[in-house]
Structure 1
């Protein structure tokens, strides 16, 4: 029963993000994560929340291994992150052993609210910036 609910929630949130949140986020001044599409080979940009700490960009994926950008990172970990209007390149690392709830304590609160509300399978991601 719980797995069914998580799957339904994930599909609903994914649809809202793809059709509303990401188009608006790509136009705004917020943080963007650019991956290379695993099938298309084209750049894919996703609005994300996170923070640079000691030369690394930290974020939490609300759908973990089920996020399209996580699939893309698995295929090619080289990414770009737009922070404060500046693009930076780096290598993304999926950290399934990191506690995402603890990690969010050091990340922006507003984004964490969305991750906590909409998330189903949280996953910490670290981008080692070049």
Structure 2
């Protein structure tokens, strides 16, 4: 399957099937960005790990992900972990090794990111609280 076709198939499935279901799951980690066009909050289910005052995740489609584009426009975000919202500033880390980073993150999500990802990108959120 071509990289572009894989990207379109995965993002369509996530947008219309997976994300609406997982957004409602109480234990699901959510990343809230501000829509770069609408200015409205956009919540995306993500997998990652809270480490001290940092939250780490890997985007499976890098700069093609809508939430990454929103971060580029406004890096102020919120992350919901274990039902609690944290404010922070997101940083895209293109020089970080995303495959090595995935080994430090939750196993199930990391396997999914590796299998469906087309352009992995590490993101670190420095939390304010």
TM-score (norm: length of structure 2): 0.96
Q: Deviations over 1:39-78 (max 9, x none)?
A: 0000000000000112100000000010000000000000
Gaps of 5+ in 1: none
Residue 79 (structure 1) aligns with: 77
Moved over 2 A (4+): none
Q: Would you tell me which structure has more helix in proportion to its own residues?
A: 1
> Is the partner of 1:81 in helix, strand or coil?
strand
**Residue number in structure 1 paired with 2:3:** 6
Which one of the candidate residues 9, 16, 19 is aligned to 1:19? 16
For residues 90 and 22 of structure 2, the distance between their equivalents in structure 1, rounded to whole angstroms, comes to 21
The Cα shift of 1:89 comes to 0.4
Structure 2 counterparts to residues 19-58 of structure 1, below 5 A: 19-28=16-25, 29-58=27-56
Root-mean-square deviation (Å): 0.9
SS class of match (1:44): strand
State the distance in 1 between where 2:96 and 2:52 align.
17
In the other structure, the counterpart of 1:109 is 107
Unmatched segments (≥5 aa) in structure 2:
none
C-alpha separation between the residues in 1 aligned to 2:72 and 2:100?
Answer: 24
Give the number of equivalent residue pairs.
127
CA shift, 1:21, in A, is: 1.1
SS in 2 for 1:94: strand
